[in-house]
Chain A
Amino acid sequence: MSAIVSLTQLNIWLDVAFTSLYAVVLVALVIHFLGSIPKGRFRKKFILKKWPEHDHAPGTQPKLLHHTHMLMMIVLAISGLYIRFPFFDGGRTAMRYIHYFAMIVVTINLIWRLWYAFFSKQRDWREFAITKDDAKSALGVILYYSYISNSKPHTSSKYNVMQKFSYQFFLVLMLMQVYTGFALVFTPIFWGYSPRDILVGWWLGVFVGSTDLAGWYARTAHYVINWLFIIMTTVHVYLSATEDVPVTLDFFFVKDLEIKGGHGHAPEPHAVPAAGTTAGDQ
């Protein structure tokens, strides 16, 4: 019994820890952005307009997929948090159905994106695959984004290793979220069995002693993953907006991306001018 008391208290810990962590992340991002000023990156990007160069613009189909996904994930986060913390009166039932609707769209979107990555004409899964070169550049990327090094490792592919890892992690989280989300449905809609019975009841339920308790673990995992999504998406939005504004504007159909052949740069590392210097000083 004492073990589950800690599980009960775990709910409290998760609430407190993740809301605190999210506040810390927001503060850290502000500090990180301010750190770009003495490092000269702010001047280079926002004043001198020296943004990464691209040899092609994102395709329309991935853009639409991204926007649909983004919108539905926002809806899922808000409706999901409302279900746990009703922050206005009387919306629970509506929020649940909104959550279900967004969940279906996201699930379809996920299947479509996986098909696009592996089976479509454009199949772009290689753009997300971490290569040996990526592994070698990982330390340099970390040092660059943490301002320890001012040299940005060149990447020959569309994404750097941190992006690739993040997007792969997003995929894993998505699959887990779909799984744990369906595991919360306990209505017996499949020949007397519920999605919870099928997804967690028969194995986790046996392990923890109760199908309902297995559903509780699934709910807890669902909640944790929700926060991971919120935190990672916040960092993703910050980096997208600060590292490459032109491609972000193109992505949101605000302004077309300027295309430069040959990926626009030499294979050596990109040097960022230190504070007080200009690009011409290099």
Chain B
Amino acid sequence: MRAGTLTKLALLALALSVTMIPAAALAQEAPVATTSADVIGYDVDFTLPTAAKAGCLVCHGDENLIRLREDEIVSFFVDPAELEAGPHATVQCAGCHLDFAFTLPHVQETEDWQRTAKSACKNCHQDQYVEYGQGAHRIEVGNGASADADEKPLCGDCHGAHDMVALVDSPEGQAAMRDNAWEVCGRCHEDYWENYNDYYHGRPFKRGGAYDAPSCWDCHGYHDIRPSSDRRSTVHESRLAETCTSNPACHHDVNVDYLTYAEMIHGHGELLEQNPLFDLLSRIRSAISGLFGG
């Protein structure tokens, strides 16, 4: 081998070693695996809350933005298309995430940031928030604070978040809300969701996909919703006639006799079980299945 060739090989080996040593050193420094406890936050001071939408979506517009939290993958992706299509397309992220500017770095171990965002609506939708404050879902403060305050729904719990659709004058928004009735009401009021099963309201709404069958809030109201025992409730006995006839597409001249059907709306199953013939048939069926070891 000529001396020139040897010199070239030596130079190449030197160059490779200079290139790879720092990389190897870095590889040794990097953690093998990280847990949620290791992550203490991100330095996001490269952007400003006032330019939040463009800034936040730099990271949150990436569908691969995930974290491992308690062995579960949690996505922090926000679909820019959904935001643009929604009613809050012109609202900055910090318009709802009010605590963003004050909690840098914004990765926290608590859910307070979600509660802040879910109730930030009050700053613009003040009338609705006043109504909400009069209803059963309001969160008592001070001496009236209840132990289950954390379970009370905030605006975002019913209306959704980034994928929210416009409700006002929007059939699509109304339809989207109806389609999400279980998420809106049912997941908390499971009993009432399950027994909303009568012929003309519950079954068509839940199973029939009927556009004219009432959703929960069509009868019970929404922001200032109250328990039926409250005289101000739209489903209080004294206000049923007014509620049932409030929509011309529903009922027209209901009387007291007609309104007694209301007991069927959430009580069909109970009435069925009270039926003596049904009870007899159930016993016969049980006896027959018992004979066959059922």
Contacts and interface: CB of A to CB of B under 8 A. Distances in A.
Interface of A: 1, 3-5, 7-9, 11-13, 15-17, 20, 82-86, 88-93, 95, 186, 205, 208-213, 216
Nearest to A210: B255
A13 B199 CA distance: 14
Return the 8 tightest CB-CB contacts between A and B, nearest first: A92-B208, A90-B209, A92-B210, A4-B257, A86-B207, A86-B208, A210-B255, A4-B260
B263 interface: yes
A252 to B, nearest CB: 34
B272 interface: yes
Nearest to A94: B209
A212 B254 CA distance: 6
A8 B251 contact: no
Nearest to B273: A12
Given A20-B281, A84-B199, A8 B264 contact: yes
Contacts of A213: 254-255, 257-258
A82 B281 CA distance: 23
Contacts of A5: 260, 263
A16 B276 CA distance: 10
A227 B281 CA distance: 19
B256 interface: yes
A11 to B, nearest CB: 7
Contacts of B213: 92
A85 B255 contact: no
Given A12-B272, A12-B278, A20-B277, A208 B257 contact: yes
A93 B210 contact: yes
Contacts of B204: 83, 86, 92
12 contacts: A1-B260, A8-B260, A8-B261, A13-B277, A16-B275, A16-B281, A89-B208, A90-B209, A91-B208, A95-B208, A211-B252, A213-B257
B252 A212 contact: yes
B102 interface: no
A9 B258 contact: no
B220 interface: no
Interface in B222-254: 251-254
Given A86-B207, A89-B209, A93-B210, A16 B277 contact: yes
Interface of B: 199, 203-204, 207-211, 213, 251-258, 260-261, 263-264, 268, 271-272, 275, 277-278, 281
Contacts of B254: 210, 212-213
Contacts of B203: 84-86
Which among B251, B257, B277 has the greatest number of chain A C-beta atoms within 10 A? B257
B251 A9 contact: no
Nearest to B258: A213
A186 B247 CA distance: 13
B275 A12 contact: yes
A209 B213 CA distance: 25
Contact of B253 (A1, A7, A91, A212): A212
A90 B210 CA distance: 7
Contacts of B208: 82-83, 86, 89-93, 95
A1 B278 CA distance: 24
A212 B213 CA distance: 16
Given A4-B261, A20-B281, A89-B209, A11 B253 contact: no
